[in-house]
Every structure is written in C-alpha cells, then in structure tokens.
Structure 1
C-alpha cells in the first residue's frame, strides 16, 4: 500500500508551483476588462495616476496593502486575495532566482558552521 510518505512532496498537486508566477495585477486587469472599466476611470476612482495603475496591472509594481484596500473598495473583492496572490508571486519569484538560491545556500553553510 502506498502512503503519503512514499510520494515525493513535489508531486502532490497542492505543492506544485506553476511554471510562471501570476502577478495579482494580471488578475485585476482581467477583472476590470471583464467589467468594462477603463484603467483611466479606475485610477480616478482610486485617486492614483493612470500610469501608476498601469504599472501595477502590468506587474511592474507590487500590490501593497494600501493598493489592495483600494482595489477592495472599488471592485468589492477582498484585499486579502490580492495580498495573498502578491505574497505567492514574490515567493515563487524568489525561489526560482538561481543566484538568490545560491546566496541562501551559502548563508545556510555559514550558519551551520556556527
């Protein structure tokens, strides 16, 4: 009989990371397009510049707590969804950065020697 201990954790569906992380801005962009809201109108409702909103929607700027709360106010979608998505995006980006992973390995070696 096979148990969970026999299965590689990387092969469990909940542990598989998508090949490309999805920035929450992409999801917000899809949502406003679905609703037929222009970026300019949304930016005006949020009290931010259209260029700033565009940077968020195109993944060039993170969704901060403040922006997540603004999106919640204007779209009615809980801010925690955007913050969790940003967290997952940031973690996946960091875990796929080979130079950063090497740096972490070096830190772990140094810490183990203490």
Structure 2
C-alpha cells in the first residue's frame, strides 16, 4: 500500500524559504539575490512560488544559510507531485504489459 502525501503537507520551497529564512534574516528580495549571486527576478520568482527551486539555487541557499540542499529539493519534489496529482485524471497513458 502506497503512502499518499496530503496536499496540505506540500509547501512550495520558495514560500518556506521566504518565511523561514529570508524574512527572519531581515533581507529584501534584492539583498537576498545579491548575497546568493542571482538576479532579483530569479529570487522573486522563487520566493513567490512562480519558479521551481533548482539544484543550483538549493546549493546557493545551503552555502548562504546552512539549510541542506537535499531537504529543499525534497520539498520541491513533494510539491511538484501534489501539483501533478491534482490533475492526474487528465494524464492519459496506455498501460504497458511485460513482454516475457
């Protein structure tokens, strides 16, 4: 039996990073972007949930704040899966049978 993640547990990592890291450190989006060596637009898109967290960005946050990149990437994967499950009935595939 597979364990299903309740949608309420899947938080976009950008929202979490904003509320748990960026804001408590008193950083603006612009300053956070400068410190991590990315554009303001890239940081804004991530923190506002408009862009996914990349492996590179996760490493940048890890180096700057000490949060494990793997943890943040698991958050992204969980969020992506819940988003896909929300419309899984629209995903049409043909079941493949084993040849042997």
- Alignment TM class, shorter chain as reference: 0.7 to 0.9
Structure 2 residue aligned with 1:107? 94
Question: Alignment RMSD, CA only?
Answer: 2.2
Alignment partner, residue 74 of structure 1: 64
Over 2 Å off, 4+ runs: 18-21
Distance across 1 between alignment mates of 2:24 and 2:39: 21
TM-score relative to the length of structure 1: 0.74
* 3-state SS in 1 of match to 2:52: coil
In 1, are the aligned partners of 2:58 and 2:73 still within 8 Å (CA)? yes
Q: TM-score scaled by structure 2?
A: 0.83
Offset of residue 39 of structure 1: 1.2
Aligned partner of residue 35 in structure 1, secondary structure: coil
Figure out how many residues of one structure are paired with residues of the other and give that number.
97
**Which has the larger helix fraction?**
1
Q: Which runs of 5+ in 2 are unaligned?
A: none
3-state secondary structure, aligned to 1:34: coil
- Report how far residue 21 of structure 1 moved: 3.4
Moved more, 30-39 or 80-89: 30-39
**Which residue number corresponds to residue 21 of structure 1?**
10
| Gap runs ≥5 in structure 1 | 1-8
Q: Which has the higher contact order (CA 8 A, sep 6+)?
A: 2
